[in-house]
Amino acid sequence: MSVQLIHRILPYLAAPQDDRHRLFHGRGHIEPGLEWLTLDRYPPLVFATLFAEPPAGFLDALSAELHARTRTLAIDCLLVQHRYQSGTPVETLFGEPPARPVAEEAGLRYWLDFQRGQNIGFFGDMAPGRAWLRERTAGCKVLNLFAFTCSFSVAALAGGAESVVNLDKSGAALELGRANHELNDQQPDRVRFLPHEAFRCWKKLHSLGRYDVIVVDPPSRQKGSFEARRDYARLMRKLHKLLKPEAEVLACLNDPFLDEAWLYATVGDNLAGSEKVERLPPAPGFEEPGEPALKAIHYRYRRPPELDRLG
């Protein structure tokens, strides 16, 4: 069985012609029976994520195939994360990982941390969102809600943003975000980091001014803090107090159980003055035959006059 599965993966083990990170997107149901596997390339390593225990012999076969392609893929290490196990342990199958691994994208770099748990500090599937920001943030004030490690902020500053405010309840994630800005030699006086929950920081956000661009990229479920089905609408209703009279919003959600229509309705019903412009395309390597779980939708905001009396 392992031999058959490996043969189906072989066409994906080629050096990309662009700066994509995902080599194999099993979670996207591109190969039936391999939904439990993803492969990401961050030269000089490949990072395999297992969402279920693989068949006997599979990892040995995968290791052998990748080891045979170290030159063509510009890699010398294979790491495997066992997401299905408690603590999501990571093991090295061959080579030695770099002391400070990074992801490179569009000339920018982001620190990776393979020991921080199931999330390594960088989401390759959000490449279109980062590109979107770089294209439209020149001279803008940007608010990055649920900032995590601030990759959106790095992209916004690279696009010429006047300032970025990053909000996330995890101080540790924001510290890695601060390091990401330093890694890219970005001016620290143009960035703020607020380690707070979104619904407990509204006055502070408002005091820092209204924003030309707001990115909303919450977790679908964060215990004790945010649950998309319950809280996304509430969040949208509050944005008018933070947005400039003419502004842009990137509304994101990664949840297979809440579809695109749900997100359209939630934003449209709760953020008066918003007009959908487009859904961003999937990142290269993340294409799926069905509707992807990740949704990133660009909205144009024009403040309705009747809201002025609300502040």
Quick one: average pLDDT of 133-160? 97
| Residue at token pair 């979670």 | 27
Q: Domains in the chain, start-ordered, CATH in brackets?
A: 2-99 (3.30.750.80), 124-310 (3.40.50.150)
166-223: pLDDT as tens digits: 999 999 999 999 999 999 999 899 999 999 988 888 888 988 889 999 999 998 877 7
pLDDT beyond 80 at 311: no
Query: How much is the pTM?
Result: 0.94
**The pLDDT of residue 309:** 59
**The pLDDT of residue 74:** 96
256-307: pLDDT as tens digits: 899 999 999 999 999 999 999 999 999 999 998 888 889 999 999 999 987 7
80-120: pLDDT as tens digits: 999 999 999 999 999 999 999 999 999 999 999 998 778 89
The answer to whether 266 touches 239, Cβ cutoff 8 Å, is no
End-to-end CA distance of the chain, in Å? Answer: 63
- Residue with the bigger pLDDT between 21 and 5: it is 21
The answer to whether 280 touches 132, Cβ cutoff 8 Å, is yes
**The pLDDT of residue 308:** 65
3-class DSSP state of 58? helix
**The pLDDT of residue 269:** 97
Token readout for 43 is: 């030269």
Question: Cα separation of 83 and 184, whole Å?
Answer: 30
Quick one: average pLDDT of 228-246? 95
| Residue at token pair 């012609």 | 17
pLDDT beyond 60 at 310: no
Strand ranges (E), the chain = 22-25, 37-42, 45-50, 77-82, 90-94, 102-105, 108-111, 141-145, 163-167, 191-194, 211-216, 221-222, 226-227, 243-254, 274-279, 294-302
What is the rounded average pLDDT for all residues in the chain? 93
- The letter for the amino acid at 48 is A
